[in-house]
Structure 1
Amino acid sequence: MTLTRTQAVALLEAHDLAPSRALGQNFVVDPNTVRRIARLAAVGPGDPVVEIGAGLGSLTLALADTGAEVTAVEVDRHVLPVLREVVADAGVRVVEGDALELDWAEVLAGHPSWTLVANLPYNVATPLVLDLLDDVPAIGRMLVMVQREAGERLAAEVGDAAYGIPSVKVRYWATARLVGRVSAEVFLPRPRVESALVEITRRDAPATAADPERLFALVRAGFGQRRKMLRRSLAALVDDDAFTAAGVRPEARPEELSVEDWGRLATASPG
């Protein structure tokens, strides 16, 4: 069981609600889309799943239908009564809170590894994914729906036009790939952009043993002047000997370096 567009509109009208622009709410109101997301999440009976931004509960119901143990997080206190009403018979735990500020250790207590499945608000999607990778190791897998351009950045590989700081951060912690696109037609209200589904799987250990603070200081400096050769953009941080020791061409540009390359450069130039 999931929500159709007609049912979602009726729920909002019954509770005198409208999607919040401030919270970036675009509710998924197409049953086929939420079932597709649940299939791609590859979760089943007893699997612990956390959903961020559960909204009206359409994706929540599709996840619950798989038999997974679903924890639904929602920040909007006006939508929460509707969500609780929709999932009342589905065995879902509802948690009120801002995903950027939650005590995740408390929310995820009881299981060592979780899958995150979420339709993330466009305005917080990238920082939220990166923060969860940094700070919440209990989330081992993610399937997130985000604005297409954000999804391309999260999943980009070396040399891709979208490859940048978020791409390196994701690759440091995980592997990532685009697994689908989602039309704007399935949302209420209809956004002006396409969405993408990104699958992120945490590595057993970071991609490089380099000091992360040093590594990402170099990444920020390099991509801060991405049209320049690294010799110039990193002039204050990396000398010629370090480039040689790391096996990195000083005339390369930042989008040409893998996370392992950045790691060797950070280790060769400890600062």
Structure 2
Amino acid sequence: MTLTRTQAVALLEAHGLSPSRALGQNFVVDPNTVRRIARLADVGPGDHVVEIGAGLGSLTLALAATGAAVTAVEIDRHVTPVLRTVVADAPLVEVVEGDAMALDWPTVLAGAERWVLVANLPYNVATPLVLDLLDGVPAIARMLVMVQREAGERLAADVGDPAYGIPSVKVRYWATARLVGKVGPDVFLPRPKVDSALVAIERRPAPAAETDPDRMFALVRAGFGQRRKMLRRSLAGLVAPEAFVAAGVRPEARAEELDVEAWARLASA
């Protein structure tokens, strides 16, 4: 069972609630969509799933129906009691109230070594949250996230794509990523003004290149901060002329022309 639009509206009305714009709440209220997400997540018995922004529990129920154990994280203290009621008959679902940007993730994920993140992420925190989890929570081995379409394109972009930028480099340093679907606004309550995208992210066994990530991403931020400029200008003071030669990177290149390996060589040089 999952929640229809009518059922979600009735739940909210019964508890005197409405979606919070401040929290970026757009609840998924289409059973076919949540079943599609659960299918694309490729999870089942024996898998451990963490869902961020569980809301009213529609996707939670679809994930639980696969037989996976689900830890559903919800920040809204007013919505959490409703969520607990909705999933009360799902024995493998645990509800955690908290802010995903500030959770003690080792404690939350202590029950298993390997986790899959499946979530309809609030647009206002989606990109920084995905990047923070890639940086600091290695227990999350795979992700299937629904995000604003433009954010999804940036997360999955590669060199040569118009959306390629800082998030793209960060994702590709830690993982592989691809767009696996699009979702229109009609499946949400309330309906957003933009389309959404489903992005599948799989963590690499090791980072894509050997280098100091702090040094590398300082260069990435500087390069994309002035992306219209040649690297010899945008990275002036950070990269010596001879370092470009050592790294095999043209100083006349621009930031969007460098893949992860090139950024790593530049940082090491």
Tell me if both proteins adopt one fold, taking TM over 0.5 as the criterion: yes
Q: Which amino acid aligns with 1:221?
A: A
Tell me the SS of whatever aligns to 1:140.
strand
Instruction: Measure the CA separation in 2 of the matches of 1:184 and 1:175.
Output: 27
Q: Which residue of 2 aligns with 1:217?
A: 218
In structure 2, how many angstroms separate the alpha carbons of the residues matched to 1:98 and 1:125? 13
Shift in Å, 1:69: 0.3
Confirm whether residue 43 of structure 1 aligns to residue 60 of structure 2: no
Aligned residue in 1 for 2:239: 238
The percentage of aligned residue pairs carrying the same residue is: 82
**Corresponding residue of 1:147:** 148
Q: Distance in 2 between the 1:240 and 1:176 partners?
A: 33
What residue identity is the alignment partner of 2:126? A
Q: Counterparts of 1:213 and 1:23 in 2: how far apart (Å)?
A: 30
2:266 and 2:82 mapped to 1: Cα distance?
A: 51
Matched, 1:204 2:205: yes
Equivalent residue letter for 1:148: R
Distance 2:146 2:206 in 1: 25
Paired residue type of 1:49: V
Q: State the Cα distance separating 1:213 from its structure 2 match.
A: 1.1
The Cα of 1:240 is off from its aligned counterpart by 1.9
Deviations, residues 110-163 of structure 1 (Å, cap 9, x unaligned):
211100000000000000000000110000000000000000000000111110
Tell me how far apart the structure 2 counterparts of residues 99 and 221 of structure 1 sit (CA, whole Å).
28
The aligned counterpart of 2:117 is: 116
The 5 Å alignment of 1:158-169 reads: 158-169=159-170
Who is 1:30 aligned against?
A: 30
TM-score by length of 1: 0.98
The superposition leaves residues 221-265 of structure 1 with CA deviations (integer Å, 9 ceiling, x where unpaired) of 100000001111111111221111111111111001001000000
Query: Is 1:63 aligned to residue 63 of structure 2?
Result: yes
Aligned twin of 2:6:
6
User: SS at 1:77's partner residue?
Assistant: coil
- Equivalent position SS for 1:244: helix
Residue 97 of structure 2 is matched in structure 1 by 96
**AA of the residue aligned to 1:217:** A
Cross-structure match for 1:189:
190
The number of equivalent residue pairs is 268
Paired residue type of 2:15: H
Partner of 1:260: 261
User: Which residue of the partner structure matches residue 170 of structure 1?
Assistant: 171
> Deviations for 1:36-66, whole angstroms, at most 9, x for unmatched residues?
0000000011210000000000000000000
The letter for the 2-side match of 1:14 is A
